[in-house]
Amino acid sequence: MRVSYQELYGVLVRALGKAGFEPDRAHLCATLFADASRDGVASHGLNRFPRFIDTIRRGIVDVHARPERIAGAGGLERWDGRRGPGNLNAHHAMSAAIALSQAHGIGCVALANTNHWMRGGTYGWQAVDAGAIGICWTNTLPNLAPWGADNPRIGNNPLVIAIPRSRGPLVLDMALSQFSFGALESYRLRGEPLPVAGGFDTDGHMTRDPAAIEHSGRPLPIGFWKGSGLAIALDMIAATLSGGRATHDIPSRPEDETGLSQVFIAIDRCALSSVAEVERTADRIIEHLGVRYPGERTSEIRRTSLEEGVPVEPAIWRDVQNLI
């Protein structure tokens, strides 16, 4: 089932108004959720919306809290998210990083006390739409065993890298687990094995059986020991720069997850060279690649959604319409 972007946006913005959002913030928050579904990431768009509203009702997310700048030194700033909506906080932080990059060539905002940022790619697209290279990551609740341990102690800490390009930006948006829990569920529901090993079963054997990994709670980090090390490093930078929580301090039940730490870096790609030069370099890399680049499919899905409507799960769409 498909609905027009405007209709989807309209329902979301009214639901957010009823949930207590001020009009300007309801507008941006609805746009970010609608954009995620429009771009093919419904898991962090419409499908996540009921759970987002629930976090407001349960006091995890404070709809009125606006992020506050705590400290700054040149191109580096620390912000307090004050437990406000995670996507609004992250959008604000990337805006601040972009502004810093325009003044200093490179800017970095470390954000503490925030909530789940929903679709990470959002802030990569935000950077490239402003003509900046964007690099950002978030820590998460402990949902991944570090290599050598058998219980979750590190986060799958999604990492986003985005590079502007007028013929189609490169936007990489990846969690550091090989498969998200959402992906495991999709494979299980389709009755398919994973294309590669995705975790351990309860006996400690690597497996391609999604249900066995859901049962054990032991998905694999990308690159085994390498992704494990990367997750630890990203958590340590986020927590130390922001002054916020590290993964081990974040409540481990998904519905209680809050107090995340995030980093947003923006680089003015044209501070040192012409747009023409950097576009030519980027185009030549894509031409020589011979396969899809990260973000290419997103651009295609977006076009289809805007022409034919945004795909929605009928049951979830009905639930969300009932919120208004």
Instruction: Give catalytic residues, as residue numbers.
Output: 44
Q: What is the DSSP letter of 199?
A: E
Total residues binding a second copy (CB under 8 A): 73
Question: Among 7, 40, 147, 324, which residue sits at the site for a second copy (rule: CB under 8 A)?
Answer: 147
Shortest separation between residue 154's beta carbon and a second copy, angstroms: 8
Shortest separation between residue 237's beta carbon and a second copy, angstroms: 6
Amino acid residing at 315:
A
Q: What is the DSSP letter of 254?
A: G
Minimum CB distance to a second copy smaller for 192 or for 249: 249
Establish if 299 lies at the interface with a second copy (CB under 8 A).
no
What part of residues 86-145 is at the interface with a second copy (CB under 8 A)?
103-108, 110, 133
Establish if 233 lies at the interface with a second copy (CB under 8 A).
yes
Per the structure block, which two tokens stand in for 110? 């470390």
Strands 260-268 and 106-114: antiparallel
Establish if 305 lies at the interface with a second copy (CB under 8 A).
no
Residues 6+ apart with CB under 8 A from 118: 32, 33, 36, 44, 45, 48, 52, 86, 87
Establish if 193 lies at the interface with a second copy (CB under 8 A).
no
Question: Among 15, 65, 241, 260, which residue sits at the site for a second copy (rule: CB under 8 A)?
Answer: 241
Euclidean distance between CA atoms 17 and 212, whole angstroms = 41
How many C-beta atoms lie closer than 10 Å to residue 307's C-beta? 8
Shortest separation between residue 144's beta carbon and a second copy, angstroms: 12
Euclidean distance between CA atoms 249 and 5, whole angstroms = 38
DSSP string, 51-80: HHHHHHHTTSS-TT---EEEEEETTEEEEE
Establish if 146 lies at the interface with a second copy (CB under 8 A).
yes
Minimum CB distance to a second copy smaller for 292 or for 303: 292
What part of residues 63-82 is at the interface with a second copy (CB under 8 A)?
70-78
Euclidean distance between CA atoms 109 and 94, whole angstroms = 7
Per the structure block, which two tokens stand in for 254? 């998904």
The continuous run of DSSP H or E covering 311 comes out as strand 310-311
Minimum CB distance to a second copy smaller for 91 or for 165: 165
Shortest separation between residue 289's beta carbon and a second copy, angstroms: 6
Beta bridge partners of 311: 2
Question: Among 19, 127, 239, 312, which residue sits at the site for a second copy (rule: CB under 8 A)?
Answer: 239
Minimum CB distance to a second copy smaller for 58 or for 292: 292
